[in-house]
């Protein structure tokens, strides 16, 4: 009996030791997931390409929130020429992909065939392309994206369209060089996260999915646009900001206020809530060339949680009176995604350099 118990104990111990290793082996790496996304979702004609890894860059960002961002780039070579496909992952979840091609492809509506990506099942119908990409992406993620594919039924992507089907807002924007397709979850007239596609020369150029970056919290909009504007008007009566030299700027004359629904995280977290994003326009320029105040109000409570001067040169001035902001001011989305922007920019520069070197080497043959 004791021997049997001993054997059972040994077996359990071995299984416990092996479980982490089994989990590690069954969790695909970002490189593997990038390969799967390229081959299974984008579906290039791999009989024409030799795919090789160009780079694999990993960056760690401290909380809040703690993230591991990894950029994986593969080169699809057709006799030394062809596109790079860059895939960006956050905590091993795909959030962005881009087809990196010659500038002629990016800046021309009539790209040469050699600059185009050859597909295994090509289609000139962008609606079919988008639905096909969504269906294959659904298989890639294991998620149910049927609500998004349903929202694209009978959509003419040659037209500028904005419509809402259930909880999905579809926005199609055509311009000279590209067609942008946006599929966002929307609740109470507030657009949240979703999936976006950009097509150029009839081909997928950029893909993004920010649903894993944010968790949608309370979607209640208890404050109307009129109420939000009234809150802003009252707030501006006592608002002030302080210059670097200690000068306090106040007593503003408001000419108009524009307000639109947006979202923001609270308390440095990744859970997002609806808010009113308002631009308070002023009748004059205030030092240093401030022409408006950006004001944010929670749509569920009516609390002002951020006020920031806007300067003539564009953007937001780094000015704010300490009395404006409560101790619970959240980090804004643009502050949270700034590391991601810098990461994407550095990868783009590196990829462009490597493409130039590769093209130079190929021209010398």
Residue 109 domain flag: yes
Judgement on whether residues 241 and 140 belong to the same structural domain of the protein: no
Judgement on whether residues 77 and 187 belong to the same structural domain of the protein: yes
Question: Which domain, by its residues, includes 312?
Answer: 225-328
Q: For the chain, how many structural domains are there in total?
A: 2
Judgement on whether residues 119 and 264 belong to the same structural domain of the protein: no
Residue 2 domain flag: no
Per residue in 110-129, pLDDT (tens digit) is 555 556 788 988 888 999 99
Judgement on whether residues 359 and 288 belong to the same structural domain of the protein: no
Asked if residue 162 lies in contact with residue 171, where contact means CB atoms within 8 angstroms, the answer is yes
**Bridge partner list, 156:** none
The per-residue pLDDT for 8 is: 52
- Single pTM value for the model: 0.77
Residue 161 domain flag: yes
Residue 115 domain flag: yes
Judgement on whether residues 110 and 156 belong to the same structural domain of the protein: yes
Would you call the peptide bond into 288 cis, given omega within 30 degrees of 0 as the criterion? yes
Mean model confidence pLDDT for the chain: 82
Per residue in 121-160, pLDDT (tens digit) is 888 899 999 999 999 999 999 999 999 999 998 899 999 9
Judgement on whether residues 324 and 351 belong to the same structural domain of the protein: no
Judgement on whether residues 173 and 82 belong to the same structural domain of the protein: yes
With 70 as the cut, is the pLDDT of residue 231 above it?
Answer: yes
Judgement on whether residues 63 and 192 belong to the same structural domain of the protein: yes
Residue 3 domain flag: no
Residue 334 domain flag: no
Residue 65 domain flag: yes
Residue 13 domain flag: no
Judgement on whether residues 42 and 90 belong to the same structural domain of the protein: yes
Per residue in 2-31, pLDDT (tens digit) is 555 555 554 554 455 454 444 445 789 999
With 60 as the cut, is the pLDDT of residue 86 above it?
Answer: yes
């Amino acid at each position: 009996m004791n021997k049997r118990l001993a054997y059972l104990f040994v077996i359990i111990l071995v299984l416990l030791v092996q479980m982490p290793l089994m989990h590690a082996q069954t969790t695909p790496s970002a490189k593997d997931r990038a390969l799967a996304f390229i081959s299974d979702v984008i579906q290039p004609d791999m009989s024409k390409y030799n795919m090789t890894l160009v780079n694999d860059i990993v960056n760690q960002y401290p909380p809040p929130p703690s993230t591991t961002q990894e950029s994986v780039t593969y080169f699809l070579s057709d006799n030394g020429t062809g596109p790079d496909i860059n895939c960006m992952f956050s905590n091993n979840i795909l959030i962005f992909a881009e087809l990196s091609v010659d500038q002629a492809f990016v800046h021309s509506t009539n790209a040469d065939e050699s600059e185009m990506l050859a597909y295994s099942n090509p289609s000139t119908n962008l609606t079919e392309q988008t639905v096909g990409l969504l269906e294959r992406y659904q298989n890639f993620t294991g998620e149910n994206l049927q609500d998004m594919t349903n929202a694209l039924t009978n959509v003419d992507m040659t037209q500028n369209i904005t419509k809402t089907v259930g909880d999905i807002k579809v926005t199609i924007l055509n311009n000279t060089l590209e067609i942008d397709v946006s599929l966002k979850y929307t609740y109470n007239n507030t657009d949240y996260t979703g999936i976006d596609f950009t097509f150029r020369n009839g081909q997928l150029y950029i893909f993004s999915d920010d649903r894993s970056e944010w968790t949608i919290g309370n979607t209640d909009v208890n404050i109307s646009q009129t109420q939000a504007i009234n809150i802003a008007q009252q707030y501006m009566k006592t608002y002030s900001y302080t210059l670097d030299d200690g000068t306090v700027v106040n007593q503003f004359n408001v000419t108009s206020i524009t307000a639109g629904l947006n979202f923001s995280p609270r308390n440095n977290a990744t859970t997002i809530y609806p808010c009113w994003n308002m631009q308070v326009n002023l009748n004059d320029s205030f030092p240093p060339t401030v022409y408006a105040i950006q004001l944010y109000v929670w749509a569920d409570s009516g609390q002002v949680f951020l006020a920031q001067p806007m300067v003539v040169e564009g953007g937001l001035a780094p000015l704010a009176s300490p009395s404006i902001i409560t101790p619970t001011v959240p980090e804004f989305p643009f502050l949270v995604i700034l590391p991601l922007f810098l990461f994407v920019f550095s990868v783009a520069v590196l990829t462009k350099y490597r493409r130039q070197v590769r093209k130079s080497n190929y021209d010398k043959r």
